[in-house]
Amino acid sequence: MADYDNRVVRGRSAADAGVVDAGLRAYMLRVYNYMLMGLALSGATAYLIANSQTAAALFFHQDGLGRVSPTILGFAALLSPFGFILALNFGIQRMSLGTVQMLFWAFSALMGVSLAPWLWVYTGGSVAHVFFITSATFGAMSLWGYTTKSDLTGMGTFLVMGLFGLIIAMLVNFFLQSAMMNWVLSVIGVLIFTGLTAFDTQRIKETYVASYDGTTAGKMAVRGALSLYLDFLNLFLFLLRLLGNRR
């Protein structure tokens, strides 16, 4: 783990580099802990709503055919995470650590609301199966992104451009309702977020090393956790669309 990007640490004394390396390990552990707790909160919220008629009725309507539509409160819960993402990415420097943490936990809980309908569509066994596949894939790619000496910036730029294209194609398919296109887009989504997991891990690591500053590390850890949270969740949802068994 000490062998991070030498372009960044070149010029530091051995003692200083050792301090940064120890801080980096603690920092990355903090990032992963935030991410895992955020995922756990989202999962618990989704499970509570999916298994409670009272809670589900606050956010969703179900007709006689089992079709689900959000209530006004549901629409607010589905759309508000975008505001939290913008706030955490662009307003984080002006916030205290406590505010940043509160926003992240609120974001994670609201994301759980949007996940609840997936638990109605797919069997519990397939959700668990896909979750373990996602965990293994995410872990392998994040480890590679942390340890590789290759610069993943070019790959990351390409993947971000591909992500915008994917979003546009998904909007088009929302109207076309093509099963084949849905399958193709799911495969592309898996590939994009698998690569972004490695890219974001390297970016989080190198950002810490390049701007080592203990006063901002806590807030940057939350923002890093947000990036990895989104990579994991989107990878999971695209894999679920490919591999999940519908009820």
Only one residue has tokens 């979750």, namely 131
Q: What span, in angstroms and rounded, lies between the C-alpha atoms of 79 and 122? A: 23
Segment among 5-9, 91-95, 222-226, 229-233 with least mean pLDDT = 5-9
Does residue 52 form part of some domain?
yes
Does residue 238 form part of some domain?
yes
Does residue 150 form part of some domain?
yes
Q: Which residues pair with 70 in a beta bridge?
A: 60
* 2-32 residue pLDDT tens: 444 544 444 455 545 555 677 888 899 999 9
Q: What's the structural domain count of the chain?
A: 1
**pTM score:** 0.88
Does residue 115 form part of some domain?
yes
Does residue 208 form part of some domain?
yes
Does residue 1 form part of some domain?
no
Host domain of residue 169:
6-243
